[in-house]
Amino acid sequence: MSDGVAGALQVALLVAALLAAQGPLGAWIARSVSSTRHLGAERVVYRLAGVDPDADMRWAVYARSVLVFSAVSVLALFALQRLQAALPLSVGLPGVEPATAWNTAVSFVTNTNWQSYSGESAMGHLVQAAGLAVQNFLSAAVGVCVAIALVRGFTRSRTDRLGSFWADLVRVVVRVLLPLSLVAAVVMLLGGVVQNLSAPTTVTTLTGGTQTLVGGPVASQEAIKELGTNGGGFYNANSAHPFEGPSAWVSLLQVFLLLVVPFSMPAALGRLVGDRRQGRLLLAVMGGLWLLAVTAVTWAETTGAGLVPQAAGASVEGKETRFGEALSALFAASTTATSTGAVNSFHDSYTAAGGGVLMLSMMLGEVTPGGVGSGLYGMLVLTVLAVFLAGLMVGRTPELLGKKIGPQQMVLVALNVLAMPALLLVGAAVTAGVPALVDASVQDAGPHGLSEVLYAYASAANNNGSAFAGFGAATTYQNTALGVVMLLGRFVPLVLVLALAGSLARQSAVPAGAGTLSTRSPVFGALLAVVVVVVAGLTFVPALALAPLAEALS
Amino acid sequence: MPARATAPLRLAGACLRLLLVMTLLLGVAYPGAVLLVGRLVPERADGSPVRVDGRVVGSALLGQSVPEGPEGDAWFHPRPSAAGDGYDPLSSGASNLGPSSPELLALVEERRARVAEREGVDPALVPADALTASGSGLDPHVSPAYAALQVPRVARERGLPEDEVRAMVDDATTGRWLGVVGQPAVEVLALNVAVEEAADPAVVR
């Protein structure tokens, strides 16, 4: 079988599995968050924590709970890293220095998992399992909570209540993420992903050299790292490391895991609003744009244009033999289209065109299908924008799912759409414009150097976490600045979305009339896809032209 | 303290308690459960160790350095590695050099000359994976083409017939999963162990 056919069938296999899984998983998520019963385990959690799972919250209270919970999480994770040396299972590693600890704490709490450290030489088993992996669960669950709160804005009428953050958070963890992670971790363990608490052991190799084998609780962390669209690797080499990604089928399973919850959220929406066609339309838009990115990156990497790929004969620098170009490109396009940021190959060495598409995928705002929860709320914000534009074009009152889109909603949507590009472009411009910062962090000269800076800030502002890893992120300035960008990139849109949810829930539902524009038709789907691409395109084309495009054409 | 001032503190306290409970569940019980399952398949959970003469010489999943020069000629060579000084699991990772990097271009040409000289072949015949570093720096595989290129040299150095060495390469080759997933690859450590066994019958796996 030719490489191209095998690559296409590999994508077809993945698409079939995702299509089969998204309906039932979406229904299960919808049922979990709208259940009226508390499970025994959940009651124990509520009692120990002293929170009221039945507290129906106003949007501001919901937002405050998310913010305080996240702030407490940042502080706790910061402290855990600083105190590492004094805690058990540190395998001899010292405490993490403050700038890195701050960056890492923010990174994991914001679901970014940008890593300015190298896992095997910085983080002991306790910090990895009880600190970083715990935030992998919680930050993903927070994303789902906010998405569900926004959906409640559409389904509820004439109320100022959006549900209980405590119940939403605990249910998403206990009923959805934990059971799925447990199954995924065991399957990956059987596939060869490591899971132990050993200290590093040195062996004499076959040819008489030495090699130090580094184990750890990897499988348990790997499962939620993909499922929660987190992406922070146990090891520096992330899922390219054979102890994280031992074989091609395990790597494909990881691609499935990082896509499955984001692609199930439209089905959950469909169930919750009682309009499954609306869910399928969003799924089609997300899936179509993802498939385009996969195709473009696969084409770029298998064709292998550029100075070095041409000289070597293929674009395989930074890629593993067992995965090859096609599975590497599939992983790369999927990890950037879902704010995951895990990698099974290293994007800095991708062809200019391939790397450019990966960057653009993030710049779309992580909605194709985006992160766990954050993908759906990001897409719903763009859907409101599309409804508004369509309303202007045909002269109809903009309505979505029975709610009128008025000036107040549009202000919140506009702020939301502007927040990420502002953070990305201002952050990148400061680094690119200050020679001292360029010297300290940028590895490659010319357009590729600018790509490294743009990629870093696109990754941080969109909470992706992957990198053109030649970029030296471990400086005090970059640790601090990227930390701030990650924090604002996560919580500014999140609070605006909750405010939008609050404003929608207060309205009474308008029954669909003859003048209502259908938001379930293929025409609207096409318009939505255009809005997603054009909003990002107009914002980022100048920057992209100077970086990956210039490199591809040179 | 007035009620309004205590409310944020109460909220922070509740959040901290919730975080602690979640840490017990997700950071202790969950990885602990997976650890217990791991004890049922210890070889897998501990990184698939490879033993020769009862001694662990590495992991089936990790590539190892082979010395350059005459002392390395009896072995199959892995791909170039950007992990530390080569195949160092304490600093896994890629070169991260870009597609137009002059530094990477120079490395590729230097490797091409070295491999062509070692194998005694036309530089144009050296496959891409022999010229580039992997993502992890620990790639346990080479392409079937790079393995085939090395067969004559290893057979000569070991005093083995080429056909026998070629059969060992076939044994160490894994195809695509289900015929479509990933890429065919040759496991270098397994191959070198097989070569060592065949050349020296005293060695037992």
The C-alpha torsion from A328 through A332 and A335 to A339, rounded to 10°, is: 160
Residue of B14, B48, B83 lying closest to A51 (CB–CB): B14
Q: Which chain A residue shows the shortest CA-CA distance from B46?
A: A194
**A451 in B contact zone (CB under 8 Å):** yes
User: For residue A2, is it within any domain?
Assistant: yes
> What are the tokens at A227?
């499922």
Sheet bearing B141-142, strands edge to edge: B141-142, B185-187, B173-174
Number of CB atoms found within 10 A of residue A434's CB? 12
> What are the tokens at A397?
């009152």
User: For residue A296, is it within any domain?
Assistant: yes
User: For residue A208, is it within any domain?
Assistant: no
> What are the tokens at A100?
């890195």
Chain A (224-253) residues lying within 8 Å, Cβ to Cβ, of chain B: 224, 235-237, 240-243, 246-249, 251-252
SS3 B202: coil
A197-223 burial, b at 16+ Cβ within 10 Å, e below that, comes to beeeeebebbbebebebbbbbbbbbbb
Evaluate whether B65 touches A209 at the Cβ level (below 8 Å). Answer: yes
Cβ within 8 Å, pair B94-A204: no
Prediction ipTM score: 0.95
Cβ contacts of A185 on chain B, cutoff 8 Å: 34
Fill in the amino acid letter for A210.
T
- Indicate which of B132, B142, B178 best probes the interface with A, i.e. most A CBs within 10 Å of its own CB: B132
The CA distance from B147 to B192, in Å, is 11
Do the strands B55-59 and B173-174 form a parallel or antiparallel pair, or are they unpaired?
Answer: unpaired
Structural domain of A521 = 1-202+213-554
The CA distance from A504 to A493, in Å, is 16
Do the strands B141-142 and B49-52 form a parallel or antiparallel pair, or are they unpaired?
Answer: unpaired
The C-alpha torsion from A345 through A351 and A352 to A354, rounded to 10°, is: -60
Instruction: Give the A:B interface size as CB pairs under 8 Å.
Output: 366
Per-residue pLDDT at A197: 94
Residue of B23, B96, B183 lying closest to A321 (CB–CB): B183
Residue of B12, B28, B93 lying closest to A236 (CB–CB): B93
Q: What are phi and psi of B125, to 5 degrees?
A: -90, -5
Number of CB atoms found within 10 A of residue A182's CB? 17
> What are the tokens at A167?
């119940």
User: For residue A404, is it within any domain?
Assistant: yes
**B10 in A contact zone (CB under 8 Å):** no
- Cα A27 to Cα A31, A148, A176, A261: the distances in Å are 6, 13, 11, 11
> What are the tokens at A402?
């029975």
Residue B5 has pLDDT above 80, yes or no: no
Cβ within 8 Å, pair B16-A217: no
Chain B: give the shortest CA distance to residue A21, in Å.
20
SS3 B59: strand
Per-residue pLDDT at B202: 61
Tokens 């010319």, residue located: A446
Which 8-state DSSP code applies to residue A40?
A: H
Per-residue pLDDT at A92: 86
The predicted-structure confidence for B77-105, as pLDDT tens digits, reads as follows: 999 999 999 999 999 999 999 999 999 99
Cβ contacts of A312 on chain B, cutoff 8 Å: 108, 128, 131-132
- pLDDT values of chain A reduced to their tens digit, one per residue, 554 residues: 788 999 999 999 999 999 999 999 999 999 999 999 999 999 999 999 999 999 999 999 999 999 999 999 999 999 999 999 999 888 889 999 999 999 999 999 999 999 999 888 899 999 999 999 999 999 999 999 999 999 999 999 999 999 999 999 999 999 999 999 999 999 999 999 999 999 999 999 999 999 999 999 999 999 999 999 999 999 999 999 999 999 999 999 999 999 999 999 999 999 999 999 999 999 999 999 999 999 999 999 999 999 999 999 999 999 999 999 999 999 999 999 999 999 999 999 999 999 999 999 999 999 999 999 999 999 999 999 999 999 988 888 899 999 999 999 999 999 999 999 999 999 999 999 999 999 999 988 889 999 999 999 999 999 999 999 899 999 999 999 999 999 999 999 999 999 999 999 999 998 887 778 889 999 999 999 999 999 888 899 999 999 999 999 98
Residue of B28, B33, B88 lying closest to A130 (CB–CB): B28
Q: Which chain A residue shows the shortest CA-CA distance from B123?
A: A312
pTM score over 0.90: yes
**A133 in B contact zone (CB under 8 Å):** yes
Fill in the amino acid letter for A257.
L
Cβ within 8 Å, pair A551-B99: yes
Residue A270 is inside which H or E element, if any? helix A248-273
Residue of B21, B97, B139 lying closest to A470 (CB–CB): B97
User: For residue A549, is it within any domain?
Assistant: yes
Cβ within 8 Å, pair B96-A192: no
**B6 in A contact zone (CB under 8 Å):** no
Residue B4 has pLDDT above 60, yes or no: no
Q: According to the 3-state scheme, what is the secondary structure of A323-368?
A: CHHHHHHHHHHHHHHCCCCCCCECHHHCCHHHHHHHHHHHHCCCCC
Fill in the amino acid letter for A508.
S
Chain A: give the shortest CA distance to residue B163, in Å.
23
> What are the tokens at A85?
């040396």
Number of CB atoms found within 10 A of residue A240's CB? 31
Q: Which chain B residue shows the shortest CA-CA distance from A185?
A: B34
User: For residue A293, is it within any domain?
Assistant: yes
**B73 in A contact zone (CB under 8 Å):** no
Tokens 């499955």, residue located: A260
The CA distance from A156 to A337, in Å, is 31
Those residues whose C-beta lies under 8 Å from the C-beta of residue A445, and which sit 6 or more positions away, are none
Number of domains in chain A: 1
The CA distance from A28 to A78, in Å, is 34
**B70 in A contact zone (CB under 8 Å):** no
SS3 B173: strand
Tokens 């939301």, residue located: A416
Evaluate whether B19 touches A166 at the Cβ level (below 8 Å). Answer: no
The CA distance from A24 to A10, in Å, is 23
User: For residue A391, is it within any domain?
Assistant: yes
Cβ contacts of A345 on chain B, cutoff 8 Å: 135
Q: Is residue A411 exposed (0-12), middle (13-18) or buried (19+ Cβ within 10 Å)?
A: middle
- A319, β-bridge pairs: A345
Cβ within 8 Å, pair A307-B100: yes
User: For residue A402, is it within any domain?
Assistant: yes
Residue B182 Cα to chain centre, angstroms: 15
Evaluate whether A417 touches B67 at the Cβ level (below 8 Å). Answer: no
Number of CB atoms found within 10 A of residue A251's CB? 27
Evaluate whether A69 touches A103 at the Cβ level (below 8 Å). Answer: no
- The distance in angstroms from the start CA to the end CA of chain A is 34
**B179 in A contact zone (CB under 8 Å):** yes
> What are the tokens at B186?
């040759």
> What are the tokens at A324?
């090859």
